[in-house]
Amino acid sequence: MKTGQELTNELGMVKISEDVISIIAGLAAMECYGLVGMASKSFQEGLAKLLGTEHLSNGVEVEINEEGVKVDLYIIVEYGTKISEVAHNVIDRVKYTLEEMTGVSVLEVNINVQGVRVNNAT
């Protein structure tokens, strides 16, 4: 388990690992319209590999410090959507979900668009 965020109150202490934060961020991002999926952080040979739902955390980098959490998301967007709107929606959704579910302070959510995917459902 990677070191994570520690939350302390009068009843005790809760430790949230980086893996848990990355999975929550990935699931929250997948709820956004225009997002096809997460891409691997290791972008090799110019090809973005679409990750399945069991590997969402591979498309998320989490950095934790004393002030809060910084999240980098590697995404693939749907062709025909406005990339800036999709990115803005993902940022808002991930920030809100992490703060509500874990109680951590989210300092940054950075979006890295790794590709555009055409929908084949025609």
The CATH number given to whatever domain includes residue 36 is 3.30.70.1350
When pLDDT is cut at 50, 70 and 90, the band that residue 122 belongs to is very low
Q: Find tokens 């998320």 and name the residue.
A: 60
Q: Does some domain include residue 32?
A: yes
For residue 56, pLDDT over 80 is answered with: no
Q: The whole model's pTM is what?
A: 0.81
Overall domain count for the chain: 1
Q: Residue 28 sits in which domain range?
A: 5-117
Q: Which of 3-17, 45-59, 67-81, 101-115 has the lowest mean pLDDT?
A: 45-59
Q: Does some domain include residue 55?
A: yes
- Tell me the average pLDDT across 26-46: 80
Q: Does some domain include residue 122?
A: no
Q: Does some domain include residue 103?
A: yes
